Structure 1
Amino acid sequence: MKKIRKTALIATASAMLLSAIPLSSSAASATAFKLNIDGQALLFPDAQPYRSGNDVMVPLRPTAQALGLKVEYVPASKEAAITGSAVTATVKSGSNEAHIGGQASIAFGANAVVKSNRMFVPLSFFERTLGLQTVIHEDSATASILTAKASENAVRTIVEKLIAGEYEQLSGTYFDNALQKAVPPEALKAGWEQTVAPVGKYSGIEAIQVNAAAADQPQFIALLTFAKAKVALTLTLNADNQVTGLWMKLVAEQAPVPAGLVEEEVTVGEGTKYPLPGTLTLPKNSSGKLPAVVLVHGSGSTDRDETVGLAKPFRDLAWGLAEQGIAVLRYDKRTFAHGQSFTPDMLLSFTVKDETVDDAIAAAKLLKADPRIDASKVFVVGHSLGGMLAPRIDADGGDFAGLAILAGSPRTLWEIIADQNAAVIATMKDGDPAKAANTELVAAEVKKAQALAGLTDDEAKKQTLFGIPAYYFKEMDSRGADGIAAKLTKPVLVLQGEADVQVYADKDYIQWQETLKNNSKASFKLYPGLNHFFAKDKDGHVDAQVIRDIADWIIK
């Protein structure tokens, strides 16, 4: 998913409030405002909206009626009742609370008032009581109310522009100023086309849903149907129906568990501050205690399947190994399950120990405590960053029977990131000024990385390296894979895809052979044509030979 910016949502509006009554001279003399509903100006024959402090007061009855609501006003009590298909609310002059359904009270801004037999309520009444999005434009003296129907229409139009490839018009017309700067048309084009490249022909919008968990602005999720998969397009809209946040994610169809397997839901680290939901895959009708595997993720916020686009490499490994008689435990990564709870201060001190190591050790302990598992035959299979950390996880408490390292590296993480950046820069034209500028930026970051060891922890926490807190790299370097792995005497299996462009066969795979040269139980295999996920293309399944090789190594 390419996340561009996260804001929030608001509830659907099916009800609106009140009004009854002619405008007084005092209201007429106040600063006059116009009122728009879904971008259309609402005309008032006598009473006009006006500024009152930080709010805008609007005539209740005509506004509510324009929103499809019924208003009944009782002059004796100066109370108005507003009813719609999904709401009943009452509001009284002199009060800034509305009673919903005759029970719950919801406070809004300024008090409702009656002037010359007409009730006025603040704009905030419609937002806080009815869940509608509102905004005040000071420059044009205009107040706006946005309903869910108008937002859904805007979402449909935005989808049409994306499908048609009208990126410049979409950005210029439908993005707010901040998003236009953050996501120029070329970036929007790249992100969208990369997302939908593997899913085939577009067939339509399956549904548009409101995200009821969002808080600040309306957020809509459009589920788009393509030939091979679905795409969830999430949009946040302001009261002018402009996009303030946008991100997209492939939604792969859920495949059934193979007939010969059974899956159980488990919790890794149950009772700790960060419990992680996981899945234990077992062969059906097995006899005797089973060998088992803990799968450890690569970098980033990753679910238990290590989902990337349509690919689910950890699900492929779990099912494939279980079909060979091996139990497999996979679980959601801590940053995936609890990432929203991490504050900026916490992230300054965040390390791979917090992110990966502790949870992998907890997963190993969970397997070893299961009476169906042979505790002496629990292995770790680490992919990418998980492969780099496998020796540390083993040394710090995993105590595995053996380590399988898939597309890992014994080098430092910052070296790999520098190489990845250099590879991208190498594809740029020599005359492009950005090529020289980016080369200098990478060189500067490498220079900072080379000085990491000389920094105190506090100094490292105040710096960044490749956009990541430098302490993350410093702590990881202090327990590097190369030094720990060189001391291993237990079985180690190193697998590498020759077509991997993130970890390199001519660097990392070769370095593993050097690091493990004194370990007679180390074995290596290079796969021609396979990428970083051990598939022939980004959204393919893990190659069957890779799964057989891991299973054979474990069983032997």
Structure 2
Amino acid sequence: MKKLLTAILIFISLFFFAQSRPEIGGNFIKSLFTDHNAEKAHTYFDSFVGSQISVNDLKELYPQIQGQMGNFKSILEVNNEKDTYYFYSDFEKSKLDIQITFNAENKIIGFYFIPHKTFDKADDKTALKIKSDDIELKGTLLQPTQGDQKKLVIFVHGSGPQDRDETIGENKPFKDIAEYLLKNGISSYRYDKRTYSNPETFNNQSTVEQETIIDAVNVAKYFKANESFKGYQIIILGHSQGAYVMPKIAEKAQVSKYIFMAGNARPLQEILIDQFEYIHKIEPSKISVEDIQNIKKQVEFLNSKKFSLDSPTSELPMGLSATYWKYLLDYKPLEAVKSIKTPMLFVQGGRDYQVTEKDFNLWKNQLKSNKSAEFKLYPSLNHLFIKGSGTPSPKDYEGKGNVDEIFLKDLVQFILK
């Protein structure tokens, strides 16, 4: 009997270690989200993580995730970087990565829910890495095989850690735009933002220069110096924050045209207060009166003489460093944009509550005598340039949509002009 028990234990041990990490991770996810078996899911943790995350913690996790994203449906694909695996998972309302890290014994030592991370496939001929200072930007280059119009559009993201498609929930506005441009003979390059691919390079001494501007300029310089793109017009398209800092990018990039998609002209701290107050008005449970009071207090401090480079992040909006905010305080986009002498297109969605018509009109008024600047307003489009109706809210981003075709046609017309 003792020999039989030993044999069974050896078999179980061999079976467990014979499982691949994708299988182990998949079983963990299945236990948690399909079987609702928190006890079994807990056995996949190493001893330290198991001591920090209890079975009850896991039991409470599922209804929270279900409330935000609906029921778990399936794992779509698995990718990895060394010991960290990304299980691209499909929920009823959204898709995201469940990031799981393993130790040498194939026990889970960490798991997180993050936006889907794009991985280049070995046979992907559209993948292109571009050196930018201390990192390689990973991106996608689309080029028409026929009817090449000799135009190349470079995409620059909004705020936060964004992938090359600017994925928000089910929506991928940069991918939509790039694929439409391709159908019209226009090349494009979009890349993973460094705060997404290499977050370790961003610290308390970093500014929007390191976050966005330098990489955009380096990408533009790469294509301008590349013999394969000799004779091409280079166009930079910036969305949200990417449009906000476009005048800074233009100083060094010196390309043929610039496209400003929903870029704020007002200071970021002013935009934040508007956003907080708007969300509180339509969804008080999301943003409380106390939240509004706190952000106003932080903005008041930021705008006061008390603010300095030594100010702690706890006293500043969004937990951003004093160095980051000092750069933005010194930046005057409405003055800087007057230095751009090449064609510009400013586009704005009428249902955009994040960056509003107030900003659009500020750009328009500042450049009213500039015949190279064009302005187009789309009343039914949101911040992602997806059509909608009713009261604009964060719920607009929960469902899948596509960038509006009327806007895309106008974009192509401006690029080909």
Answer whether TM exceeds 0.5 for this pair: yes
Unaligned runs of 5+ in 1: 1-44, 46-60, 71-82, 88-129, 132-146, 215-219, 255-261
Pick aligned residue for 2:300 from 438, 441, 447: 447
Unaligned runs of 5+ in 2: 388-395
Q: Which residue identity lines up with residue 137 of structure 2 in the other structure? A: L
Aligned counterparts, 1:48-87, within 5 A: 67-68=9-10, 84=14
Q: Is the 8 A contact 1:280 1:327 kept in 2?
A: yes
The aligned counterpart of 1:269 is 131
The reply on whether 1:324 has 2:179 as its aligned counterpart is no
Q: Aligned with 2:168: secondary structure?
A: coil
The aligned counterpart of 2:253 is 398
The aligned counterpart of 1:541 is 402
Q: Which residue identity lines up with residue 266 of structure 2 in the other structure? A: R
* TM-score using structure 2 length: 0.76
Structure with more of its chain in helix, by fraction: 2
The reply on whether 1:358 has 2:224 as its aligned counterpart is no
Q: Is the 8 A contact 2:235 2:255 kept in 1?
A: yes
C-alpha distance in 1, partners of 2:327/2:416? 35
The aligned counterpart of 1:470 is 322
- Note closer, same or farther for the CA distance 1:399–1:187 as it changes in structure 2 (3 Å cut): farther
Shift of 1:209: 9.6
Q: Which deviations, in whole Å up to 9, do the C-alpha atoms of 1:405-454 show, x marking residues without a partner?
A: 0011111122212221122222355xx9x8332232122112122127x6
Query: How many percent identity over aligned positions?
Result: 26
Q: Which residue identity lines up with residue 352 of structure 1 in the other structure? A: V
The aligned counterpart of 1:485 is 337
Q: Which residue identity lines up with residue 495 of structure 1 in the other structure? A: V
C-alpha distance in 2, partners of 1:528/1:187? 39
Instruction: Please identify the structure whose Cα radius of gyration is greater.
Output: 1
Aligned counterparts, 1:429-444, within 5 A: 435-444=288-297
C-alpha distance in 2, partners of 1:184/1:509? 46
Q: Which residue identity lines up with residue 195 of structure 1 in the other structure? A: M
C-alpha distance in 2, partners of 1:466/1:286? 46
The aligned counterpart of 2:390 is none
Shift of 1:482: 1.9
Shift of 1:526: 1.0
Aligned counterparts, 1:300-379, within 5 A: 300-339=160-199, 341-342=200-201, 347-373=203-229, 377-379=233-235
Q: Is the 8 A contact 1:221 1:235 kept in 2?
A: yes
The aligned counterpart of 2:154 is 294
C-alpha distance in 2, partners of 1:159/1:441? 36
Q: Which residue identity lines up with residue 306 of structure 1 in the other structure? A: E
Pick aligned residue for 1:524 from 353, 375, 379: 375
Q: Is the 8 A contact 1:503 1:532 kept in 2?
A: yes
What is the number of residues matched between the two proteins?
Answer: 393
Shift of 1:156: 2.8
C-alpha distance in 1, partners of 2:346/2:172? 21
- Note closer, same or farther for the CA distance 1:294–1:67 as it changes in structure 2 (3 Å cut): same
Q: Is the 8 A contact 2:69 2:93 kept in 1?
A: no
The reply on whether 1:285 has 2:227 as its aligned counterpart is no
Q: Aligned with 1:410: secondary structure?
A: coil
Q: Is the 8 A contact 2:100 2:108 kept in 1?
A: no
CA RMSD in angstroms, aligned pairs only: 4.6
The aligned counterpart of 1:116 is none
- Note closer, same or farther for the CA distance 1:250–1:494 as it changes in structure 2 (3 Å cut): same
Q: Is the 8 A contact 2:22 2:78 kept in 1?
A: no
- Note closer, same or farther for the CA distance 1:202–1:251 as it changes in structure 2 (3 Å cut): farther
Q: Is the 8 A contact 1:301 1:333 kept in 2?
A: yes
Shift of 1:227: 7.9
Shift of 1:332: 1.5
Q: Aligned with 2:169: secondary structure?
A: coil
Q: Which residue identity lines up with residue 421 of structure 1 in the other structure? A: F
Q: Which residue identity lines up with residue 67 of structure 1 in the other structure? A: L
The aligned counterpart of 1:95 is none
C-alpha distance in 2, partners of 1:296/1:148? 33
The aligned counterpart of 1:195 is 69
- Note closer, same or farther for the CA distance 1:228–1:436 as it changes in structure 2 (3 Å cut): closer
C-alpha distance in 2, partners of 1:277/1:149? 28
Q: Which deviations, in whole Å up to 9, do the C-alpha atoms of 1:9-68 show, x marking residues without a partner?
A: xxxxxxxxxxxxxxxxxxxxxxxxxxxxxxxxxxxx9xxxxxxxxxxxxxxx99975632
Q: Is the 8 A contact 2:99 2:113 kept in 1?
A: yes
- Note closer, same or farther for the CA distance 1:190–1:497 as it changes in structure 2 (3 Å cut): farther
Q: Which residue identity lines up with residue 312 of structure 1 in the other structure? A: K
Q: Which residue identity lines up with residue 302 of structure 1 in the other structure? A: Q
Shift of 1:148: 11
Q: Is the 8 A contact 1:237 1:245 kept in 2?
A: no
The aligned counterpart of 2:34 is 160
Structure with more of its chain in strand, by fraction: 1
Q: Aligned with 2:408: secondary structure?
A: helix
The aligned counterpart of 2:355 is 503
